[in-house]
Every structure is written in C-alpha cells, then in structure tokens.
Amino acid sequence: MNPSYALQAEDVAIHYGGVKALDGVSLTLEPGQIRGLIGPNGAGKSTVIDAITGRRRLTRGTVHLKGQDVSALGATERRQRGLSRSFQRTSVFSQMPVRKQVELASHKMGVADSQADADAVLRELELLDLADITADELGYGEQRRLDLALALVGRPGVLLLDEPMAGLSVKESHDLARHLKALTSRWEVSVLLVEHDMDVVFGISDAVTVFELGRVIASGEPAAVRANPRVREAYLGSAA
Amino acid sequence: MKLLTSLPTRLLAGAVVGTALALSISSGTVLSLLTQATIYAVFALGVGLLLRQNGMVSFGHALYFGSAGYGVGLLLQQQVMPAELALLLTLLGLGLVAFLIGLVIVRVPGVAFGMLTLAIGQVFYLSASRSRGLTGGADGMNIDWPARLFGIELSLLLQPKGLFLLSWAVLLGVMAGLTLLLRTRFGAITEAVRDNEERARFIGIRTLVPRAAIYALSAMVTGLAGLLAALNTGFVSPENLHWSLSGVALMMVVVGGYKALWGPALGAVVYFLAKDVLGDYANHWMAIFGIALITVIVFAPTGLAGALGPLLRPRAPKPARRTAPAAH
C-alpha cells in the first residue's frame, strides 16, 4: 500500500446475505485533500464511512492509514490513529457543557494541553463564546459545528464527514463549508465529504467520487465528474 | 474553586443536622426509624448512581445489599480475621464480583438489562434460601459481631444514637466521595458514555470498562448499606436479597430524583416518613404511596430533587450566548 496516501481503501465490500451494500470500492485521500462523495440515497455513501471507520465489519477489502493496515482495528483504535468522523445525525453529548466535551475528546486523543487544543478548535469553529453552556442549549447549526469540533480535536489526519450540512440553512451551510475548507488547508486534514448539497461538494472538493448501488461509477476532478454523462444520468441530471 | 469550597460547607451542614437530630430526639423508636431511613438512603444512592451515570435501571441491587450481610457474617463465623478486615474484604469482594458481572451485563441495553439484574438477583435469593448449611436457608443467619468495632464498644455503637450517627456519617461520606469522584475525568467519561455511547467510542473512549466500573461502584455503595443493615439488626436473611427490596430502592430513586446525587437519599427519607405516617392510618399504605409515585412521575419527572433543586440553588447568571440559536 502507498504510504503517501493519508487514507487508502482497497476493494472494500460489505454484504448482508445476498445484498451488496458495498461491492469492491476503492478510494484514496491525499494529505490535505477534500474528496466529495455523492450519489443517490441508498448508494452506499454512509456505509463506506462506516466501513472505513470500523463501525461495520468488512466482508472483503482493506483500509490503510498512511500505509498502515487498520482493517482489523476497532473504531476507538482507528480514532486514536487519526481517523475521525462525524455522523449523519448530530452526535454530541447533549447534557455536557461544550468546552468540557471537546476538552474530554482532546484528552482522549492524548493531547498534552487538551484545554488549549479544545479552545483552539472551538475558536476556529466560532463556538468559544458558547463554551460554558450545555450542548442541548445550542441551536441546530451550532450543534453541527460542535459535532465537527469533536471530530477535529487532536488534529486527526483523516476526517470523514457524513452529510455535515444536513438540516442547515443555506447561510449556515456556506459558513460551515468555509470553515471546513480553511481548516483542511491550514491543518492538513484529509476529508471525505458525503453531502447532498452539490454547490458545497463541487465548491470545496479537490476530487469527487460518485456511487451507485454500492459501486464507484466515476471518480476524478470535480469538473470532469460533473461533465461525465453516466454521472449526469445516474445522479446529477439537469441540476448539473 | 467555588464548588470546592461549597462541598466542605455542605458536609459541615450535614454533620450539624445529623448531630442535632441525634441530640434532640430522645425516642429510641424515632431514632431507629431515622437509622433505617438513612441506611436505605445509602442503598438508594447506589441504585441512583447507576441510573445517573450509566442511565441503567437495576431491579436486582438487593443482591449486593443482602450479600454484604452474608459475606461479613460468613467471614466472622470463621473467626480467622478481625471484623474490620472482614468488612473491608466483603466490600472489596462485592466490588470485584459486581465488576465482573458488569463486564457482561452492561453491554445489554434498556429493559433487557433490568431483566438481567432481576434474574441474577433472584438466582442469589433462591441459592441463599436453599443453602441451609451455609446461610441458614430461609431462616437466615445471625451475625457474630465482636465486642468492639473500630475501637468502639459495640454496645455503645448499637445504641440508637450511636447507630444513627454512624449511618449518617456513612451517608455523608459516600455522598462527598461520589461528588469528588464524579468531578474527575472519570466522571466526565461516564457522562459522555451515558449521553452518547457511539460518539464516545469515536472520540477514543473504550466504553465498556467505565460502565462496568460504575456498576461495581453502585454495588459497593449498596453493599455499604447492607453492612450497616447487618450491624443494625445483627441478622441477615434471604429477604435482604429479594427483588422487592430492589423495587423499593428504585421507588426511592424515582420519588427523590436521580439527576441530583442527593435525590435518592431524599426519596428514602420520604419513603420512610410515608411508611410511618401513612402506616398509622392505612393497612395498605403502599397503595397510597403508589399514587404519590405516579403523581411524581407525571408532574415532576425529575423527582423531588429536580423540583426543589432550583429553589435551593443560589441564582447564578446563565452563561451568556453570543448568538441566538439558529432556526430549524
């Protein structure tokens, strides 16, 4: 496997009996790269995130982080090796103050000064002024940013985001996309972005991969993917 | 810093209240009732801790209440160690057994967990009931306490005032210990696991051990109550292991509320007061208490502590929000 890739998933398959949720998916992330992952509902986008992070057991295939095979490791161990994720539904600790939970996450990542790390991430995501209130008091958009903050502490090498803009207003989506783009370039985080907002995906991604029925049907630079007739037929349609 | 200074203040206030009660009440019966209430407050504290930190309901914590009495009783029968060591070993043994049980059962979510605790508790209840040679069977067993315990004459300790003060001190000690423990990183980890176990795993927390540790800790707190009960009565029987006792403790937790550490203790006091006052007027006082329980669940789901808490806390300004919540 190529150690120059931040993430390399090779021939990944997840089968449920006769149902092939993923079938021979291969994709890579270069350091600092944002790869958009698009496709119709049920195409297997979230499943590929679950497969890479260890939430679901692979039927076949391997996952490598910087050339190291992590396929046999659990979710916690993969996180400790720099593979982080957010969830389709906001996933925060609702009854815990914002700073406390981000600081806890940072501590679990082994950051020496977890307080400073937590504050840096909160400042970056414009949550520092809300640090002392509990997560259930935050607005939805703020909770999505907190979700992202929990995934970002400890400066992970790879970040897998599952529809981070879901439920946000247009302005909130663009704000979050702006934060994301700035962070990936400044902190050299590689991002796999599953998202239905095509403006966001094509606006901030360096590469785009298209899924259909658990398989990759196209992959490449955003402009080339957007122009691909099969992609237009399968997913983008006239919206492109 | 403010919290650190408030804990000693609260402890001091608690000690003053306990001493005042012991000095001002001359009736042995009333003091005995208060002692029972305090012992059950410790019991309920254990059950409430499990609910508060793990979000788990146990129908089988009487297992640890009764086993504490059997454990120390059997060790004292052997006459191979001082009673103080027997107490310590019983408590540590209970913690270890509970931790091992916890490693298996805390993986099971929701109602199934409650049913498992019920089943395990009843296995021990039936075993104790039928092991006549070891435990005295359904008749129970007397506990041979020595003449002195922790350097104090047992006769002095077993006086109503002495036993009440001892139970009260244990209650305060447990509450203070838990308060400090739950402020540590371990407390934050257990809160995170309770709130969102999957997210906890994805921030690098191994979630099984903290859950099992809380289960073991709650068992040890309940075991402490069992030891006090064994000292109070000098006797232990399978009734101390019965699931209905776990149900009573759970009722105390519901009435008192579990979100505040002191809620279950308040629930125990209310339960015993109701039992004593209502018991004078009605044979089926539990039916009346049941109605009160339903009322609390409907109108104050966070229990009495949840309803009283805001009134007792000094009003502090809420942390300021820089922005309004986004509409969604």
Q: Helix/strand/coil (H, E, C) string of B116-176?
A: HHHHHHHHHHHHHHHCHHHHCHHHCEECCCCCEECCEEHHHHCCHHHHHHHHHHHHHHHHH
User: What is the reported pLDDT for B59?
Assistant: 95
Per the CB < 8 Å rule, is A105 touching B188?
Answer: no
Q: Which domains does chain A have, with CATH numbers?
A: 1-82+157-240 (3.40.50.300), 91-155 (no CATH)
Q: Which has the higher per-residue pLDDT, A175 or B90?
A: B90
Give the length of chain A: 240
Enumerate the residues of chain A whose CB falls inside 8 A of the CB of residue B199: 87, 91-93, 150
Contacting A with CB below 8 Å, chain B residues are: 185, 188-189, 191-192, 195-196, 198-206, 318-328
CA distance A119 to chain B (A): 16
Interface test with A, best of B2, B182, B185, B203 (most A CBs within 10 A): B203
Give the nearest chain A residue to B206 (CA atoms). Answer: A76
ipTM of the assembly? Answer: 0.82
Which amino acid, residue A106? S
Residues A86 and A82: their CA atoms lie apart, in Å, by: 13
Give the length of chain B: 328
Which amino acid, residue B7? L
CB-nearest partner of B326 from A75, A142, A150:
A142
- Structural contact between residues B232 and B212, judged by C-beta atoms closer than 8 angstroms: no
- Structural contact between residues A201 and A43, judged by C-beta atoms closer than 8 angstroms: no
Interface of A with B in 19-38 (CB under 8 A): none
Q: What value does the mean pLDDT take over residues A56-81? A: 92
The mean pLDDT value of chain A amounts to: 90
Per the CB < 8 Å rule, is A79 touching B201?
Answer: yes
Q: Is B21 helix (H, G, I), strand (E, B) or coil?
A: helix
Give the nearest chain B residue to A138 (CA atoms). Answer: B325
Please state, in angstroms and as integers, the Cα–Cα distance from residue B311 to each residue in B17, B156, B252, B295, B319, following that order: 20, 40, 21, 20, 19
Q: What's the predicted TM-score (pTM) here?
A: 0.86
Q: What is the CATH number of domain B27-306?
A: 1.10.3470
User: What is the reported pLDDT for A229?
Assistant: 87
Enumerate the residues of chain A whose CB falls inside 8 A of the CB of residue B323: 129-130, 139, 142
Domain ranges of chain B: 27-306
Token pair of B241, please?
Answer: 């292991």
Q: Is 70 exceeded by the pLDDT of residue A236?
A: no
Q: Is 90 exceeded by the pLDDT of residue A194?
A: yes
- Structural contact between residues A161 and A147, judged by C-beta atoms closer than 8 angstroms: no
CA distance B261 to chain A (A): 16
Q: Is 80 exceeded by the pLDDT of residue A240?
A: no
Is residue A85 packed enough to be buried (19+ CB in 10 Å), middle (13-18) or exposed (0-12)? buried
CA distance A138 to chain B (A): 6
- Structural contact between residues B232 and B28, judged by C-beta atoms closer than 8 angstroms: no
Q: Which residues are CB-neighbours of A32 under 8 A, at least 6 positions away?
A: A184, A185, A188, A189, A190
User: What is the reported pLDDT for B31?
Assistant: 94
Whether A202 and chain B come into contact, CB under 8 Å, resolves to: no
Residues A77 and A69: their CA atoms lie apart, in Å, by: 12
Token pair of B53, please?
Answer: 């930190």
DSSP for A69-117, written as a single string: E-TTS-HHHHHHTTEEE--SS----TTSBHHHHHHHHHHHTT-TTHHHH
Token pair of A22, please?
Answer: 């993923």
- Structural contact between residues A231 and A218, judged by C-beta atoms closer than 8 angstroms: yes
Per the CB < 8 Å rule, is B321 touching A129?
Answer: yes
Is the torsion defined by CA of B232, B234, B235, B241 positive or negative? Answer: positive
Residues A40 and B57: their CA atoms lie apart, in Å, by: 42
**Backbone φ/ψ region at B247: left (φ over 0), alpha (ψ -120 to 50), beta:** alpha
Q: Which has the higher per-residue pLDDT, A110 or B124?
A: B124
Token pair of B309, please?
Answer: 């808490």
Per the CB < 8 Å rule, is B191 touching A105?
Answer: no
Q: What is the DSSP letter of A153?
A: T
Q: How far apart are the first and last CA of chain A?
A: 35
Residues A108 and B158: their CA atoms lie apart, in Å, by: 48
Residues B220 and B99: their CA atoms lie apart, in Å, by: 10
Q: What is the DSSP letter of A163?
A: S
Interface test with B, best of A80, A99, A101 (most B CBs within 10 A): A101
Using alpha carbons, select from A41, A48, A4 the residue that is nearest to residue A22.
A48
Count of CB atoms within 10 A of residue B230's CB? Answer: 26
Residues A49 and A160: their CA atoms lie apart, in Å, by: 7
**Range scoring the smallest mean pLDDT among A139-143, A144-148, B266-270, B286-290:** B286-290
Give the nearest chain B residue to A137 (CA atoms). Answer: B325
**pLDDT averages per 10-residue partition of chain B, 328 residues:** 69 94 92 94 97 95 97 94 96 98 95 96 96 92 94 92 96 96 95 93 92 98 98 96 95 93 92 82 79 87 86 63 46
If you count DSSP H runs as helices and E runs as strands, how many of each does chain A have, helices first? 9, 10
Enumerate the residues of chain B whose CB falls inside 8 A of the CB of residue A133: 318-319, 321
Is the torsion defined by CA of A55, A60, A66, A70 positive or negative? Answer: positive
CA angle B129, B134, B137 (to 5 degrees): 25
Enumerate the residues of chain B whose CB falls inside 8 A of the CB of residue A74: 201
